[in-house]
């Protein structure tokens, strides 16, 4: 089970809803992924225009926990304002804190992220910060009391997969809260690899929404996450420098 704050999930795949061009396909992909958590940018919802259509309305929201995110925020103040709006709208008490400090790489600003987390934790939110794969930052955020850490595998939408497995491994090895590898995932292999490294979950969006067949890719990602987790739990053989024969030589008849 994946436990984030007071919420518990069976699925370890979190899905972003930001880039689907067809809402029917989105819904089928969400279903196929087996996800229980959907993340979305609060600014994409017309919270003050309740009669306007929104991209969540076609989903059976009783089946999913919503994870609003603060995408679009460039400062802590903006992220805090968006988080408060999400909570006041009854969306969820969880918030993915995403404060982007750079338009080219869309990498999170660590200083603004920490500032936003401090305030939101004090206000009782369940806080999930999106961060770079920075070991010390992950540790400091944990000390603050965040409920999960979301290090990026590579820049959002880049599809570069896991750029620095060692950095993720270090974060995972010291983690006292769930580690959700978020962003940059391209293939089921990447999702499986994140889980093999010991991640508690994977969050992705572009890989599914941008696939030629999003529904099929959603299924593949579900299986990738499950396979990686299963393999990790099964206990993998150590990597060795030199060959070890598959058939033991002991007891063999020699001529």
Torsion over CA: 96, 101, 106, 108 (sign): negative
Q: Is 68 in the site for ligand DXP (CB under 6 A)?
A: no
Q: Is 205 in the site for ligand DXP (CB under 6 A)?
A: yes
Q: Is 33 in the site for ligand DXP (CB under 6 A)?
A: no
Distance between CA atoms of 180 and 193, rounded to whole angstroms?
A: 13
206 annotated to bind ligand: yes
Distance between CA atoms of 93 and 127, rounded to whole angstroms?
A: 9
What 3-state DSSP class applies to 185? coil
Q: Is 204 in the site for ligand DXP (CB under 6 A)?
A: yes
* Helix, strand, coil distribution of the chain in percent, nearest 5: 40, 20, 45
Q: Is 86 in the site for ligand DXP (CB under 6 A)?
A: no
Least separation in angstroms between residue 170's CB and ligand DXP is 21
* Residue (149 or 204) nearer to ligand DXP, CB: 204
Interior/surface letters 33-68, b for 16+ CB within 10 angstroms, e for the rest: bbbbbbbbbbbbbeeeeeeeeeebeebeeeebbbbb
Q: Is 206 in the site for ligand DXP (CB under 6 A)?
A: yes
First to last CA, the chain: 56
The residue range among 131-139, 200-208, 211-219, 227-235 that interacts with ligand DXP, by the rule CB under 6 A, is 200-208
Binds ligand DXP (CB under 6 A): choice among 13, 73, 172, 183 = 183
* Residue (112 or 182) nearer to ligand DXP, CB: 182
Catalytic annotation, pick one of 87, 96, 115, 222: 96
Least separation in angstroms between residue 219's CB and ligand DXP is 16
**96 belongs to the catalytic site:** yes
Give which of 76, 107, 94 is closest to 39, Cα–Cα: 94
Residue ranges binding ligand DXP (CB under 6 A): 16, 18, 39, 69, 71, 156-157, 182-185, 203-207
Active site residues: 96
């Amino acid at each position: 089970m994946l436990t984030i704050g007071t919420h518990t999930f069976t699925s370890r795949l979190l899905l972003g809803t930001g880039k689907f061009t067809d809402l029917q396909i989105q819904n089928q992909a969400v279903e196929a992924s087996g996800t229980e958590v959907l993340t979305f940018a609060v600014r994409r919802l017309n919270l003050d225009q309740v009669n306007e259509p929104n991209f969540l309305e076609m989903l059976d929201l009783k089946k999913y926990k919503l994870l609003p995110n603060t995408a679009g925020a460039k400062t802590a103040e903006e992220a805090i304002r968006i988080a408060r709006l999400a909570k006041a709208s009854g969306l969820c008490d969880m918030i993915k804190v995403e404060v982007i400090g750079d338009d080219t790489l869309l990498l999170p600003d660590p200083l603004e992220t920490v500032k936003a987390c401090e305030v939101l934790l004090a206000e009782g939110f369940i806080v999930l910060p999106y961060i770079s794969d920075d070991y010390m930052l992950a540790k400091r955020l944990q000390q603050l009391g965040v409920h999960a850490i979301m290090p990026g595998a590579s820049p959002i939408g880049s599809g570069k997969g896991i750029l620095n497995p060692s950095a993720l491994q270090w974060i995972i090895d010291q983690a006292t809260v769930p580690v959700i590898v978020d962003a940059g995932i391209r293939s089921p292999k990447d999702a499986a690899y994140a889980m093999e490294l010991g991640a508690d979950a994977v969050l992705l969006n572009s890989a599914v929404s941008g696939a030629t067949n999003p529904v099929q890719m959603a299924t593949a990602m579900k299986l990738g996450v499950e396979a990686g987790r299963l393999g990790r739990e099964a206990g993998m053989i150590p990597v060795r420098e030199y060959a070890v024969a598959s058939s033991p030589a002991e007891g063999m008849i020699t001529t």
